[in-house]
Amino acid sequence: MSLCLLAVNFVVYGPSLAFGFLVDSDDQAYIFRNPYLQDLTRQNLWAILSNLHYDTYNPLTLISYSLDYSFWKFDPYGYHLTQLLLHTLNAYLAFVLLLNISIPPVAAVGIAMVYVVHPIHVESVVWVSERKNLLSTFFIFSALIFYVRNAVLANPEYAKALNNLGAILIDRKEYASAKDFIGRAQQADPSLSSVYKNLAVIADRTGKDVAKISAWKKKFDELEVSKAVPEKDCRLGAFRFQRAGCG
């Protein structure tokens, strides 16, 4: 997937690799009048981290320029190449984020491709001085992925929500989608007993994974017995719909 995004990105923005710096623009401040644009040494790194540049504090942007300078000096090709690579990385992070919030893979690919080619990104990608946009986007997407994986997916309430949605889909006889959501609930919280009851119901109604029904029912019974205070469940037919305060 990352190679596809990279290929599309180079098709769209590849011509920018031949661009120079925009002299009559912020490139003056970030490139030509940037005292920190030199090889990234310990002294230079400390200077970047401990000083303002044109009354702003943006050390990561300046560090990235110094890294470019270490390899490319004043050749604009390298700076534009970094822009393209950062944009590709951001598109891939958008793709990963979409997968983590249960967007179907095909849709996630399409959205990531739209992200790559959307004209709103042109200025940020082709103008070297706008690297701060690309870097901030990188950290925003990274933070969101970390949050979803460690705060949302690890939250037992998230597993209950997925399981409840799966229960509704069972009632609508949309068994394939129901199994997908209930499977995600099982991954998020394997101790959620109603997951196994719902899996057994799906198997019984579809005739698939019938051999696992007894194991799922046994797991359900074990988890129910192990609860110090059994949770209250709503019962809708053969499957269980779990939420607080339902008796």
The pLDDT profile of the chain, 247 residues, written as one tens digit per residue, is 788 999 999 999 999 999 999 988 899 889 999 999 999 899 999 999 999 998 899 999 999 999 999 999 999 999 999 999 999 999 999 999 999 887 888 999 999 999 999 999 999 999 999 999 999 999 999 999 998 887 776 677 888 888 998 999 999 899 998 998 898 888 888 889 999 999 999 999 999 999 999 999 999 999 888 775 555 555 544 455 454 445 4
DSSP assignment string, 87-109: HHHHHHHHHHHHHHTT--HHHHH
Residue 233, pLDDT score: 53
- Long-range CB contacts (within 8 A, 24+) of 59-64: 60/135, 61/30, 61/131, 61/132, 61/135, 62/30, 62/34, 62/36, 62/37, 64/131, 64/135
Residue 217, pLDDT score: 92
R_g of the chain, CA atoms, integer Å: 26
Phi and psi (nearest 5°) for 164? -65, -40
Residue 229, pLDDT score: 52
Q: With beta carbons less than 8 A apart as the criterion, state whether 71 and 78 touch.
A: yes
Integer Cα distance of 28 and 31 in angstroms: 6
Amino acid present at 48 = I
